[in-house]
Structure 1
Amino acid sequence: MAATVLGGVGAATSVVLVGGLFGVAGVIVGVVALRTARRTGVGRGRAVTGVVLSSFAVVASVLVVFLALWFAGRTQSCYRFDELGPWRQCVGEQLFGG
């Protein structure tokens, strides 16, 4: 049950990078739950759900980090503007060439 909750919270918050931490905790708790379910025969479905959701949260968080780094690298020259209008124009030029 805890792995499922951690996985759900991690998946929901993976866009703000906190989800990766919940996801790692969920994977650990889920693996422990899978071992317990193997011994007792109860709770395997919840444990698998927790591991899957938690793994998704970790992957999504890593993807967000890479996309943020890519965006920052592509638009690095645009960070000198203090106003939103020129920044938007510069970002558009850097990303879309026009």
Structure 2
Amino acid sequence: MPPHHTTSANGPAGAAVVLGVIGLSTSIFFIGGLFGGIGLILGIVALAKAKRAGTGRGKALTGVVTSALGIAVSVLVAVFFVWYANKTQECYRPDSFQQYKQCVHQQLTGN
């Protein structure tokens, strides 16, 4: 007789955790926001299912938190890149990399 394993019947909770971790780990490449968004939706669905079934609440919460963090980091990275591009837009036509570095330094420090 095979051993009896107790597994979570809340599949969306496991998927939310996986997508949340992937979203968080790829959030600096913007794609993390997409994984985080899907993970967040699945996590919310899993929380509702956990309330009915009584299983998977911890995984669902983990999925929601990691997904939300992935989304937040992606948004912060996007905001930083827009700010950086706006702040250094005068530097995009340098003759050399050294000239580019000097221009960026001047734009960011105000010197």
TM-score surpassing 0.5?
yes
Q: Calculate percent identity across the aligned residue pairs.
A: 50
Q: Please list the CA deviations of residues 52-93 of structure 1 after superposition, one character each: whole Å capped at 9, or x if unmatched.
A: 000000011011111000000000000011421110000000
Report which of the two has the higher share of helix.
Answer: 1
| Equivalences, count | 98
- What is the aligned partner in structure 2 of residue 84 from structure 1? 97
Give ranges in structure 2 of 5+ residues lacking alignment.
1-13
| Residue in structure 2 matching 1:74, options 66, 87, 95 | 87
Q: Does 1:33 align with 2:46?
A: yes
Question: Any idea what SS the aligned residue of 2:92 has?
Answer: helix
- What is the aligned partner in structure 1 of residue 55 from structure 2? 42
Moved runs in structure 1, 4+ residues, more than 2 A? none
Larger of the two Rg values belongs to structure: 2
Give the letter for the 1:97 counterpart: G
Give the letter for the 2:48 counterpart: R
| Residue in structure 2 matching 1:21, options 34, 42, 51 | 34
State the Cα RMSD in Å: 0.7
Query: Please, what TM-score do these two structures have when normalized by structure 2?
Result: 0.86
Query: Please, what TM-score do these two structures have when normalized by structure 1?
Result: 0.97
Give ranges in structure 1 of 5+ residues lacking alignment.
none
Q: 1:82 to 1:11 in 2, by over 3 A?
A: farther
Q: Does 1:93 align with 2:102?
A: no
